[in-house]
Amino acid sequence: MCLIIYQARGLTTPPELLRSAAEYNPDGFGFMGFGSTGKPRVTRTDESDPKLAVSLAQEFAGRECAFHFRYRTRGSSAADNLHPFKVAQGLYLMHNGTAKVDLRIAGRSDTWHLVNDYLAPLLSHRRKLIYDRSFRRILDQWLGPQNRLVFLDESENRIELMHRADGFDWNGLWLSNTRWVDRRLLDLEPDRDPAGTHLAADVRFC
């Protein structure tokens, strides 16, 4: 499990939230957002560095961006497993949850396999599928609501959330869950534990 924090335009992520996220999710940090020129900025580190997170939040105050704090459940802490993942040219992904996919390479995480074996082959040629309602329904059925995806699409200059309704809004920010953050400090409601995931073998692309 991990934690994604999405910051919409006009907002700023407070340092206390970032520090709590780093404390509870110590196995890596990732960031993606659009700078003042409109170009994407993507950063990954193998430690959840709260100073870096706070610095980026200050730099990107008022701009659209997303933070990823990793809590390792599958795969090693190597750079190959850090978020965000590059899905295609100018298209990046953050994932929170556990995807039930075949783990064919030891040490690589479920997200690595989700991206490289499933999403990249499709989205490299048809990236607009992430906005297609039918494709999103397939992903919803397959992954289940406990798997939350956030895409940065350079071509559309936007960040797109999947399973947004299954996350949490806090002071305008979106959190993929509240399990891996200090809810008492931030006065957050308890996390839900949704079910309904499906194996990759159960999904048929018709």
Domains of the chain by range and CATH?
2-202 (3.60.20.10)
What tokens were used for 4?
Answer: 């994604």
CA angle 196, 197, 200 (to 5 degrees): 145
Any idea how long the chain is?
206
Question: What pLDDT, on a 0 to 100 scale, did the predictor assign at position 178?
Answer: 85
Mind listing the pLDDT tens digit of every residue in the chain (206 residues)? Answer: 689 999 999 999 999 999 999 998 888 999 999 988 889 999 999 888 899 999 999 999 999 999 999 876 554 455 678 999 999 999 999 999 999 899 999 989 899 999 999 999 999 999 999 999 999 999 989 999 889 999 999 999 999 999 898 899 999 999 999 876 776 766 766 665 444 433 334 433 33
pTM score = 0.86
What tokens were used for 139?
Answer: 């992903």
Question: What pLDDT, on a 0 to 100 scale, did the predictor assign at position 78?
Answer: 58
* d(C-alpha 81, C-alpha 1), whole Å: 13
Question: What pLDDT, on a 0 to 100 scale, did the predictor assign at position 104?
Answer: 92
If we measure between CA atoms, which residue out of 60, 61, 81 comes closest to residue 71?
Answer: 81
CA distances from 116 to 51, 55, 110, 195 (A): 31, 31, 10, 25
Question: What pLDDT, on a 0 to 100 scale, did the predictor assign at position 24?
Answer: 87
Question: What pLDDT, on a 0 to 100 scale, did the predictor assign at position 123?
Answer: 96
* d(C-alpha 102, C-alpha 96), whole Å: 17
Continuous segment of H or E residues that includes residue 45: strand 40-45
Question: What pLDDT, on a 0 to 100 scale, did the predictor assign at position 37?
Answer: 87
Using CA atoms in the order 29, 4, 87, 12, what is the torsion angle rounded to 10 degrees?
Answer: -90
